[in-house]
Amino acid sequence: MSTHPFDHAIALQPLGGDRFAGATSPAYANMVGPFGGVSAATLLNAVMQHPQRLGDPVALTVNFAAAVADGAFEVLARPVRTNRSTQHWVVELHQGGEVSSTATVVTAVERETWAVQDHAMPDVPAPEAVPSPARRGMVEWVRRYDMRFIEGELPTEWDGSGSSSRTQVWIRDAQPRALDACSIASMADGFFPRVWLRRATMVPVGTVSMTVYFHAGAAEMASTGTGWLLGQAQAQVFRHGFADQQAQLWNEAGQLLATTHQIVYYKS
């Protein structure tokens, strides 16, 4: 059994059939309840541990229907369609007799094909050349990651002066851990809300739905290992209380490992 806090946080006990038991981890606490990235990774982990799984994750969508309360929960992961080389899953996180999160997952057997990467990693300083933020996170989960901001760190003055929603940040597990689909899913939610940056104003927020596309096969995962990922995130529009976010995660070699999107509720 791994002693890494991330493995502990996403751990699930099989209850038979499609059911798994889990519990929130204080190490990844957010302001209220657990960090959404770890919830997403936990939902994905139910698929990863399911004995009927075929292949590896290609797409994950998580809908955060309600705040997950600290404590125990149950995950139901159903393979709703199994094809020759792809499989479709519907996943639900139940807590207190209600659905708190839903997810859909597509897995597929890895294949080698024609390939090209058109979105090159931005030209940024190496992670070792970027200082750690002077202040560490206000919430516990942020301490589980090492983050080096190149652009678009949290505002230091909350004065309504924001003009861009773009962040570029090197990120990796603070305690080294080899990259896998679950840690990609978690880091895909590791960008603080774009609306805070764009407005330099702290308003109540919450991710409503997040999608992750996995472009890393076994070879790209292995060569990334415990290395840094470069994350870039940006919003396109804020309207009617919801903002989008599009983001990318590259490894240090410049391979685009994941593309991800989310829609985030904001108040007023």
Binding-site ranges for a copy of itself (CB under 8 A): 58-59, 61, 63, 65-66, 80-81, 83, 86, 88, 90, 92, 98-100, 102, 104, 106, 108, 110-119, 164-165, 198-199, 208-209, 211, 213, 215, 217, 234-242, 244, 246, 248, 256, 259, 261, 263, 265-268
List CB contacts of 77: < 8 A, sequence separation 6 or more: 18, 20, 43, 46, 47, 50, 89, 90, 91, 105
Q: How far is the CB of 162 from a copy of itself (least distance, A)?
A: 9
Residue with tokens 């997950």: 68
> Token pair for residue 55?
């292949």
Nearer residue to a copy of itself within complex by CB, 100 or 183: 100
Taking the C-alpha atoms of residue 195 and residue 202, their distance in angstroms, rounded to an integer, is: 8
What residues does 145 pair with on adjacent strands? Answer: 173
Nearer residue to a copy of itself within complex by CB, 135 or 239: 239
Taking the C-alpha atoms of residue 57 and residue 47, their distance in angstroms, rounded to an integer, is: 9
Distance of alpha carbon 104 from the chain centroid: 14
Q: How far is the CB of 9 from a copy of itself (least distance, A)?
A: 23
Asked whether the beta carbons of 251 and 224 are under 8 A apart, the reply is yes
Nearer residue to a copy of itself within complex by CB, 13 or 83: 83
Nearer residue to a copy of itself within complex by CB, 111 or 135: 111
Q: How far is the CB of 56 from a copy of itself (least distance, A)?
A: 9
**How many other CB atoms are there within 10 angstroms of residue 155's CB atom?**
18
Q: How far is the CB of 183 from a copy of itself (least distance, A)?
A: 19
Q: How far is the CB of 74 from a copy of itself (least distance, A)?
A: 14
